[in-house]
Amino acid sequence: MALNKAKILWDSYLRKAGNVTTYSGAEVSGFEMENAYDWRDYSIFRAAVGTTNLDTVLAITTTISEAAVWIAQRPGDYSLLYDGQQVVYDGQPVVFAGSLLFQYESAPGVFTTLATFGFNPDQDTLAMVSFAPVVVPFGRKLRWVVQGGSATTDIRQLAAGVAMENPIGQHVGQTPPTLRSGVVVTNVITVNGSIIGRNYRRLDRSDSIDWSPVMGSWVRNTWEPFTKHASKNAFFYQWAPLLWPDEVVFAAAGDIDAPANANPTPRMKVSMPLRCLSARALT
């Protein structure tokens, strides 16, 4: 079996200096497009009704191999629109929950889809997709196509780039962050010792990075830039891409421990407790 090598997407092209991003729809005050790539878990970009595009013109040639989204829950059904009119079949509106496409400009004015994300009407959509690396020349566009039907779409976070992969497997002792969180149970008793009730305190969803041994060059070139981001911002974390590709969390660092030397020389070890701000819960 292949090693469990987690992926972390943090260095998104949407945040690159010099890249220019525009939106084809009307922005709502307080829900502007910048909220889609600010790495905050509480802000929202509200995409307009229908199909709209979020385009970024690249200032430098960029390699893309992963894309991730966090879309807020969309309760209820939404009707499909065509040319501004509701689509009806057999007397009933055609239901369309919506989807989001990630594309790149493969030739001037020609866009090729790299990933498709469907909206989940029952819970938040958290997903991360890997694909064959694509090199996009400077001056070309990267595009998110929001197909929202007859309802607005609340997008909490978009990211795309090259994910950081841990160079060593981690599995035994790891806490799958998408499974049900633990609880602390305390009993309420009377003076004579009879149990009259129970109190429950739910623990935060959490995980931890404990990677050892890793090369010192990897720590300096890959881990250190990531920790600078993680000291201020959140990131997408896919803890087991091969085993459970649908289990994705939007996470933040609980602590950032200093790298330490490890055997065999010149290997090192890194660790970082993670706090899951939002998880695609399976239970």
Section 19-31 average pLDDT: 96
Task: For the chain, list the domains and their CATH numbers.
Answer: 7-164 (2.60.120.260)
pLDDT tier for residue 281 given thresholds of 50, 70 and 90: very low
Distances in whole angstroms, Cα of residue 157 to Cα of each of 42, 69, 281:
10, 6, 18
* Residue at 95: amino acid letter: V
Q: Which residues contact 71 (CB under 8 A, 6 or more apart)?
A: 100, 117, 119, 120, 124, 125, 153, 154, 155, 156
How far is it, in rounded angstroms, from Cα 38 to Cα 72?
A: 16
Section 152-166 average pLDDT: 95
pLDDT tier for residue 282 given thresholds of 50, 70 and 90: very low
Rounded to two decimals, what is the model's pTM?
0.85
pLDDT value of residue 35: 97
Section 209-231 average pLDDT: 94
Share of the chain above pLDDT 70, in %: 83
pLDDT tier for residue 200 given thresholds of 50, 70 and 90: low
pLDDT value of residue 156: 95
pLDDT value of residue 32: 97
| Residue scoring higher pLDDT (83 or 14) | 14
Q: By the 8 A CB rule, do 246 and 127 touch?
A: yes
Section 181-210 average pLDDT: 73
Please count the other Cβ atoms lying within 10 Å of the Cβ belonging to residue 95: 13
pLDDT tier for residue 85 given thresholds of 50, 70 and 90: low
Arithmetic mean of pLDDT over the chain = 86
